Amino acid sequence: MRIQTRLRLPLIGLVAAALLSGCALVRDEAAIPPEAPVLAGSAWVLDELGGVGLVSGREPTLAFSADGRISGTTGCNRFFGSYTQDGAALTFTGTGMTKMACMEPGLMAQERAFAGTLNGAATVSLDGLGQLTITGANGAGFVAKPATPEGDKPDTDPAILLGSDWVVEDLNRGGVIDNTRLTLMFSAEGKVSGSTNCNRFNGAYTATANTVRFGPLAMTRRACTGEALSQQQRKYMDALGGVTAWSIEADGALVLTGDAGKRVLLRR
């Protein structure tokens, strides 16, 4: 019996040591933090936003440049700023944006929630599905998925404006009069032309990655047949005045957004 006891004690000790070693190994692996994503040169589209429902087709975007700048859209306004990254730690500074009115239901709440994370300290992580999570110092944040190159270019390259006529589908969220055709066409020479359905117009324009400025527009002087058509013409020409933000929607529509609620939606 004493011989059996002497043989069993070392065996029990080895099993216990192995179990303890295994536990220590699990704890060590769990303690290894996931590798922080390198954000420079990446672009993202929001998939979730801190308890606020995203407006379909107007999801915010966020791009990180290699020189420490951020840019994108809140779904309504364009924004810009700077960032620094130290592993999982982010700091956003100098964030500003255009000041277009966000009239579509839900856009203002979406913009406030998104923009609130783009100031000051934040943390970043990337999950196994390639989704990015950025959380602000107040605990609010968002989840984003990678933006496809095909989806990015039309939203930033003014060349997408060129070509055939854009036809107005909606004017200041009030639609257009049935059986009327309002158009807009951009040329590579910096010229713009179109129709108010009553008259033709033409002039000059300049475009950047997110804005277009129309110069003085000359227009023919034919009378519109009815006050409603005259009012629609005035609204259209007024919407094309000054500096306007432009964007291409997921379905290919062109949206021109100005101040005081001016908004023109066009399609080819």
Model confidence over 32-44: pLDDT tens digits?
445 678 899 899 9
Has residue 253 been placed in a domain? yes
**Same domain (yes/no): 96, 55:** yes
The predicted model scores a pTM of: 0.48
Would residue 129 count as lying in a domain? yes
Residue 16 in any domain: the answer is no
Question: What is the residue range of 235's domain?
Answer: 157-267
* pLDDT number for residue 34: 53
Nearest to residue 63, comparing CAs of 161, 151, 140? 151
pLDDT digit string, tens, across residues 168-207? 999 998 999 999 999 999 998 899 999 999 999 999 999 8
Q: Classify residue 126: in a domain, yes or no.
A: yes
Q: For residue 153, what pLDDT is reported? A: 43
Per-residue model confidence (pLDDT) at position 211: 87
pLDDT at 85: 94
Using CB atoms within 10 Å of the CB of residue 113, give its burial: 0 to 12 exposed, 13 to 18 middle, 19+ buried: buried
Give the domain CATH number at 81: 2.40.128.270
Residue 260: phi and psi, rounded to 5, are 55, 35
> What is the mean pLDDT for each group of 10 consecutive residues in the chain (268 residues)?
43 42 39 68 92 86 90 88 93 87 86 93 90 90 82 61 92 93 94 97 90 92 96 96 80 84 89
Residue 37 located in a structural domain: no
138 and 240 together in one domain? no
- Kindly state whether residues 50 and 131 are assigned to the same domain: yes
Within this chain, do residues 105 and 55 fall inside the same structural domain, yes or no? yes
Number of domains into which the chain is organized: 2
Residue ending a domain, among 114, 147, 180, is 147
Q: Could you tell me the two tokens for 125?
A: 């992580």
What CA dihedral angle connects 101, 106, 107 and 111, to 10 degrees?
Answer: 120
pLDDT at residue number 150: 45
Gap between the Cα atoms of 7 and 9, Å rounded:
6
State the pLDDT at residue 156: 62
pLDDT at 28: 41
